Structure 1
Amino acid sequence: MTPWPLTPSEVAAFATGGLAAEEIEDFRDGERHRCRAVFHRPDPRPSVHLLSSRHRLKGKGE
């Protein structure tokens, strides 16, 4: 926990280098101001489905 509360825009600043903010929630918990965030990093690899399709196509032509 940080020694001071972060604003939603400060939390959003963590979304760099391919990391994306999926949801940032700004709320009060009693007298405390809080932010809750969900981040994700999309998988840069092609999906397994695409890889298997390429393999099948390559195998048929050989």
Structure 2
Amino acid sequence: MSRLLREDQVDGLIAPSVRDIANTPRQQTEFRAWLASLAKFVNYLNEGDENPMPAAIEVEGAEA
């Protein structure tokens, strides 16, 4: 997965939950920051309003 994201083979990631990718809040924050640094999107299917952190992070200067 990370190779595909780094090499621009895919535009983003769809996952059931951030907890399926990163276990701790710190790991989740680091994962989101890493994904944002690549200017990729993430969509979590099983997370709703109970998730206090955004599923996507806006990246300044990223091309649309």
After TM superposition, the score normalised by the length of structure 1 is 0.28
User: Which of these two proteins has the greater Rg computed from alpha carbons?
Assistant: 1
- Write 1 or 2 for the structure with the bigger share of strand: 1
